[in-house]
Amino acid sequence: MCSVFDTELWGILDGLTLLQDRDFNRILIQTDSLEIVHANSNSGLVRRIQQRLRNIEHWVVRHILREANLVVDQIVKMVSIDLDGVN
């Protein structure tokens, strides 16, 4: 069990890991959580993300309204439907 904040951070860390494995050096991180955008280094997850970002040539973390992020919203809905079907 973990908080929504930690879940968002794990998603960012996992995404960064995948992108670095594929040698991407320009990354845009979009989140609907202002808490994530303004996160400090008190969290071990935040520190791990910051370490990964140091190895990336150009990166940006941007806040985006949930309603404006239609692609991610549709992906979440598809995953929710798939999970409902598994149970």
Range of the domain at 21: 4-84
How many domains does the chain divide into?
1
- For residues 79 and 46, which has the higher predicted lDDT (pLDDT)? 46
In this predicted model, what pLDDT tens digit does every residue of 35-77 receive, in sequence order? 888 887 678 999 999 999 999 999 999 888 877 767 766 776 7
Q: Are the CB atoms for 52 and 77 separated by under 8 Å?
A: no
The 10 Å Cβ neighbour count of residue 42 is: 7
What pTM was estimated for this model as a whole? Answer: 0.72
Backbone φ and ψ of 55, nearest 5°: -90, 5
The rounded mean pLDDT for the chain is 82
Q: How far is CA 37 from CA 3, 4, 24, 29, 74, in A?
A: 16, 14, 21, 9, 22
Q: Which residues contact 66 (CB under 8 A, 6 or more apart)?
A: 32, 73
